[in-house]
Structure 1
Amino acid sequence: MTRVNAVFDIGKTNKKFFLFDEEYREVFREYTRLPETADEDGYPTEDLELLRKWIKDTFDAALAKTEFNIHTVNFSSYGASLVHLDYKGQPLTPLYNYTKDFDPETAAAFYAKYGGEMAIAKETASPQAGFLNSGLQLYWLKERKPEIFSKIKYSLHLPQYLSYLFTGIPVSEYTSIGCHTNLWDYDREDYHRWVYAEGIDRILPPIVPTSASINTTYQDHKLKIGVGIHDSSSALLPYILSKKKPFLLLSTGTWSIALNPYSTESLTEKDIEDNCLNYLRIDGKRVKASRFFMGNEYRLQVEKLSEYFGKEYGYHHDITFDADIYLKRVKDPAVYFEFGGVLQKQEVEAGLTAFGSFEEAYHQLMIELMNQQISVITNAIGDSDIKTIYIDGGFTDNDVFMKLMSHHFSSFKVLSTQSPLGSALGAAMVISDKKVTNKFLKENYAMKKLVPLFFDV
């Protein structure tokens, strides 16, 4: 039997299960998409019960495989999501979606009470973003749903809830606390004063190291269960452990997040205005990050393109970079796509009537997304001496995106992985005692150096 490490990697769209051997090679994977449910306002959100059932069924099936001997289990998932448990360990509310609009009156009252929006944003390294600042959800529950708030025994970040399903032990850990939650004061290295003033600290479980694990027995199998890790911090971990020279990691998916683990300065007002934020590494150090909702914007716009040009959704997967189309499109600086989660700096033109084909419109879409991406990366790098950019996640399979990255960042060494394991592998590594060398990425990530494009624009 092959001794393996199991990881549940839970994204908003794709739910993944991996088995890695002792050398961190992937030996098994399973993907699924689960239908959403709705909260009390009818807003779509993760179906916690369905997710719990899929995790249990998937893990039970993996345990039954005679070719594998599972000895560790860990969990990586998206942040900005809290599970509120009652005194019997049962969820009290839906898993509120971080894209849901936040009550403006409650937000205004919160910021007025604790020093203003910019002050809180700088201290917690969390630009104001409503439910995406998941700590505000606790304040909102206390103010707007006190009957529910009074029943909360523990509020768990989603990665720690997944661990709790196996161990029954509630914990908190740094990477989840630090992901734009408004909970953590980065200069004081403690929960923000508002957390204590509101008594929120009493329902947040004890903080343990991200590398902590809990030994337990599950169906007569002895297992070491990790406490979970925020997916962006997890995706960064293999690079930090195996590389010594400064780098930037561009983690792509529903969010495109540029992560700079070499910035030690507190965020400025300009950083906040540019939508920069901080994450916490597993050792508690800062990571400067800049992000935008690229994957979500991309999906919505491709759906519109598919409908307009009469193509089945999925047609875009086979489109490759066309230099002639690109050169034609960049001669026209107009903006044709309106992105819901991005501040438009130019007025949007008439729209899709300007394009003669799906391919042309698609290239224009990618050009406009890349313009946003360039700003995101530039903001994250700041004054850091970074010469290398790694790209992982779903967009590494997008030929147009990758060609545009190689073109616009030709002065950098840009590398991508052909196997977007991202956060899953980091989750396996964080509870392992095995050391990695600087050859790790090359051997395990199928790293590929991008060749810059050279042509006159």
Structure 2
Amino acid sequence: MPKIPVTAVFDIGKTNKKFFLFDESLNEVWNTYTRLDSIPDEDGFPAEPVLPMRDWMIETFKKALESEQYEIKKLNFSGHGASFVHVDETGEPVTPLYDYLKPYPEDLLKKFYAQNGGKMDFCKQTSSPPLAMLNSGLQIYFIKHSKPELYKKIKYSLHLPQYLSMIFTGQMVSDYTSIGCHTGLWDFEKMDYHDWVKNEEIDKLLPPILPGNSLLQTKEEFGSIPCGIGVHDSSGALLPYLSQESNEFALLSTGTWAISINPFNKSKLTKKQLKQDCLQFLSIQGQPIKISRLFIGEEHKYQIDEMYSFWELPQGTYKKLKFDNSLYEKAKNESKKRIHFHYLKPEDYDIPQAACSDWASFENFESAYYTFIHELTDLQVASLSLVLEDSNVKKLYVDGGFNANDIFLSMLRIKLPALEIIPSDFPNGSALGAAMLVNSSFGN
């Protein structure tokens, strides 16, 4: 019986490390995953376990090559952003894969911004809100000035998706989707690396940039098959929508973060938008894409736990609720009963912040939940508006966890009547996007 031809994709997230096989119609036919414990870096802060991850990937791929059912024809990778793997000439990591939550020395950060025209001017030029270690280019600056002995050992600094590709191809490259992911590396006005990259001679550590649909070849031990260069996971997740939709649209990708993406908005960022966590990514061909971020998943989790505790309710209670317009109108009109946000900052969007959440002022859990989602969707609309303005978008796709929340979607529809709001889901969208990149002329 002939083997089924498949495309293999490694999708490396912070929590789960996944491996998928997609058939020729790009339907998922097999997957496996692992979770790896963090390891302490030299400062004792948790770091990504890059060597155990590499071992798992190689072992998993070699087993897949031996499959009697599937024949791997192509390979690609998606990976989370804000992560660099710094390697020597042979491709061996010489530093930990620092976690983007690692604290950044405040004095070094001030020095950096002072050298580069001030914080907000720099952020505007690089379309990167000031996020310290989450501005991954600043991680290289941190190593150079805080750990010079380590820095001397670095030959190349590879974004995580391109490091994953290098494991199997031996070739060191850079790609636009990782460079443009709030790294502080790219000058969106000049459409080139920012001057600081060259002034610090960090450009010497960054391999040549290739388009995201480029194909390399795996080493002989991995079958000498066509292999992609990897893609930043958020950019990969956008590709299935771009392939199916001929008109302008926006995507609200929800989970821990709600990421509003408008691939058709090319307008420049303002300093105010940057303070509202609006930024730009680069597409696989190096074109700017406007996005905004909102930490709604974590906020929802926090508030739900508070409500469950107060009313002594079991987990999952909110999932049983369906939208009721009378309850929405009541929540909308009871302006004195408001939720105090734990993570989100309504004042960033010129919306007042409640002093505290007085659960006892609500009749019941349902009333409190409706008030919370009403206020949460006000913030979501404000965040979405940052990417929708200056464009002709009439259709909004919502994927991820909130696409199954009837109350959230119904309130969005009421507040955004000009938009067709479509709950949608491409399961494992970032991996699917990576598979699409090596199976089509995407971006040509």
Please, which of 80, 83, 86 is the counterpart of residue 85 of structure 2? 83
Q: Which residue number in structure 1 is paired with residue 406 of structure 2?
A: 399
Q: Which residue number in structure 1 is paired with residue 213 of structure 2?
A: 211
Q: Which residue number in structure 1 is paired with residue 428 of structure 2?
A: 421
Identity %, equivalent residues: 43
Q: Which residue number in structure 2 is paired with residue 451 of structure 1?
A: none
Deviation, 1:195, is 0.2
Deviation, 1:352, is 4.2
Q: Which residue number in structure 2 is paired with residue 376 of structure 1?
A: 383
| Structure 1 gap ranges (5+) | 437-457
Instruction: Summarize the alignment of residues 243-282 of structure 1 with structure 2, pairs less than 5 Å apart.
Output: 243-282=245-284
2:357 matches 1:350:
yes
Deviation, 1:355, is 5.0
Amino acid aligned to 1:58: T
Q: Deviation digits for residues 189-245 of structure 1, max 9, x if unmatched?
A: 210000000011111111111111221246563422211111121122222233232
Q: Which residue number in structure 1 is paired with residue 106 of structure 2?
A: 104
Backbone CA RMSD of aligned residues: 2.7
Q: Which segment is superposed worse, 160-169 or 265-274?
A: 265-274
Change (3 A) 1:418 1:79: closer
2:369 matches 1:367:
no
Output the CA distance in 2 between the equivalents of 1:302 and 1:76.
32
2:431 matches 1:432:
no
Q: Which segment is superposed worse, 340-349 or 198-207?
A: 340-349
Output the CA distance in 1 between the equivalents of 2:234 and 2:342.
23
Output the CA distance in 1 between the equivalents of 2:4 and 2:375.
47
Maintained 8 Å contact 2:394/2:419: yes
Deviation, 1:250, is 1.3
Amino acid aligned to 2:417: S
2:339 matches 1:336:
yes
Change (3 A) 1:220 1:181: closer
Q: Which segment is superposed worse, 238-247 or 363-372?
A: 363-372
User: SS state of the match for residue 143, structure 1?
Assistant: helix
Maintained 8 Å contact 2:168/2:222: no
Please, which of 413, 416, 435 is the counterpart of residue 409 of structure 1? 416
TM-score (norm 2): 0.88
Deviation, 1:327, is 4.1
Maintained 8 Å contact 1:87/1:151: no
TM-score (norm 1): 0.86
User: SS state of the match for residue 24, structure 1?
Assistant: coil
Q: Which residue number in structure 1 is paired with residue 19 of structure 2?
A: 17
Deviation, 1:284, is 1.3
Output the CA distance in 1 between the equivalents of 2:109 and 2:292.
23
Maintained 8 Å contact 2:248/2:392: yes
Q: Which residue number in structure 1 is paired with residue 70 of structure 2?
A: 68
Maintained 8 Å contact 1:259/1:289: yes
| Structure 2 gap ranges (5+) | none
Change (3 A) 1:368 1:422: farther
Instruction: Summarize the alignment of residues 139-154 of structure 1 with structure 2, pairs less than 5 Å apart.
Output: 139-154=141-156
Deviation, 1:322, is 5.1
Deviation, 1:290, is 0.9
Amino acid aligned to 1:174: Y
Amino acid aligned to 1:416: P
Maintained 8 Å contact 2:257/2:297: yes
Output the CA distance in 1 between the equivalents of 2:35 and 2:416.
34
2:182 matches 1:180:
yes
The count of aligned residue pairs is 436
